[in-house]
Structure formats: C-alpha cells, structure tokens
Amino acid sequence: MNIGFIGLGIMGAPMALHLANAGHTLHVHTRGKLPESIAASAALRCDTAEAVTRQAEVIFMMVPDTSDVEAVLFGAHGVAAALPAGGARKVVVDMSSISPMATKVFAQKINALGADYIDAPVSGGEVGAKAASLTIMCGGDEAVFERIRPLLEAMGKNITLVGGNGDGQTTKVANQIIVALNIAAVGEALLFASKAGADPAKVRQALMGGFASSRILEVHGERMIKRTFNPGFRIRLHQKDLNLALQGARELGVALPHTASAAQLMQACAAHGMADLDHSALVKALELMADHEVAKG
C-alpha cells in the first residue's frame, strides 16, 4: 500500500520504519530534520501533509498535542486540503495522544470530506515503538478498523477496537492516569524505604515477588534506583495527558483527586527544569520535599 506518516519524533520514526520494512511505500512529512533511520530507508519525503495525503491511501499522524493534530489536519497545506479525493476512500489514523472531545470533532470534519478516521493512541513508549510491541487503543468504525489492522499489527501487539471515534483517546487518558499514579506510588514507597534506612534495590526485589509487583515497579522503580532518567516518555508529555484527564473531568463533572496530585508532582519537576526527563523522574519532586534521594547516582 501507499502509506503516509506525519510526525517522525522519538515514537513516530520507529513506527514509520516498521511500515516501510513491511514492504509498504512510505510517504513522510516532519517539521524537523529527517531521522537517519528514515533517511536511510526507501521512504519518500514530502514537503507538506497535503502532499502526503495526495500520495497515500492511509495517513498516520504521530504528533505531540491536540493543536498539532488540528494544524496537520486543517492548517495550510494540511490533510484536509487533499480531500475529497478520487479512488478508494482514504483513512486518516491519529496515533497521537490528544483530547477525546476534539477527536470527535476532527473525525466528523474528516468524514464530511469523504474520508474515514480512526483514533489509535499508543502505550509502550520508545521501547515499544522500536520493538513493534505497542499497545494500540482504537476508536472508529469496525470495518475501517479491520481494513487497517494489518498496518497496526506492524507496529503493535495488543490492538483493541474500544468503540467509536474518541473512545481510543479516552482509553489512552485512562491509561495515563493509571501509569502516573503507579509511578507516584512506587516513588513514595521507595523513598519511604530509603529514608528508613533500607536498601531500596532489595526492597524493590522483595516487592517484585508480591502483590505490589507491577511493570512500573519493575521498569521505573529500577530507573529511580539507578538514577537513569533519560527519556523514554518525557514528563512534559505526561503532563499534557494528565491535563487532558483533568480537563475532561471538569467537563464530565468527575473528581480525580489523585490524578490532580500526580499532575502537581510533575509540575514541580517541570518547575525545576526537569520537564524533558523520563516520567519516572516524578520521584524527584517527592525527593525534594523529603530532602532525601531514593539512591545516589
């Protein structure tokens, strides 16, 4: 197939490369420098999202925020400028993590222009993107989902159609709530253990064999102990996701007190110049308040 991919950052580049390696003709567009991995592939660079859309049957987007998706879709020389198009009905697939409410509006506008729309945000970070093991949460028409499923399977393992447009993004927000609260819980537990004089590495090892065991304790707990906060998923991006959760909660009349607390911890990190560290560095906000580090780097 002729595939388009817009957004070639830390996640988008390896995801796009999997599609190219699967034998598809890849048309790409990015605002920054073309990643070396993509430049070395057979991918064809386009100057605009409009140019990508004219060439591709399925157009993927992987950009940072709601406003970025809106600009890619409806800005000057955006996706919408190449719609409607003759031939087979095109499919726009947004794999970014953005507002569920805005997603529903974007989908309606794209549908009105004669194309289909799937929201398909992912979980798994850079590691999952490189390993093609991402969890992909989809919202949209079932027939359209089945049409693009083989493409999604080139990028991920756990692929679920949750419901209609917007439901994929809602699922991703829920995912980010759970991840943030787990990071905070692991951070508090290891900080408590370290301050009490116990070896946090051995505490983590013991907890991994019990009911407290989790992927967060395994991966991010190790990061906290080894002080390896190079970004897999940046604090500033998780902040954005938690803000989406809190914005949605206000609109729905739902209280999310622990989500708000985790968001404030990330805000404290950002205020201390740590917005581009991995989100496991949330523990640093707790350490600042305790005047104690979980471990020495």
Angle of helix 100-112 relative to helix 235-252, nearest 10 degrees? Answer: 80
- CA dist 290 and 270 (Å) reads 18
Tell me the one-letter amino acid at 111: N
**Residues 278 and 231: beta-carbon distance below 8 Å:** yes
Q: Distances in Å between the alpha carbon of 184 and those of 174, 210, 240, 281, 285?
A: 16, 19, 17, 10, 10
User: Which contacts (CB < 8 Å, 24+ apart) does range 39-48 have?
Assistant: 41/17, 43/5, 43/16, 46/4, 48/77, 48/78
- Single out the catalytic residue among 90, 104, 130, 172: 172
Active-site residue flag, 90? no
**Angle 227-189-208 from CA coordinates, rounded to 5°:** 80
Residue 60: other Cβ atoms inside 10 A: 29
Active site residues: 172
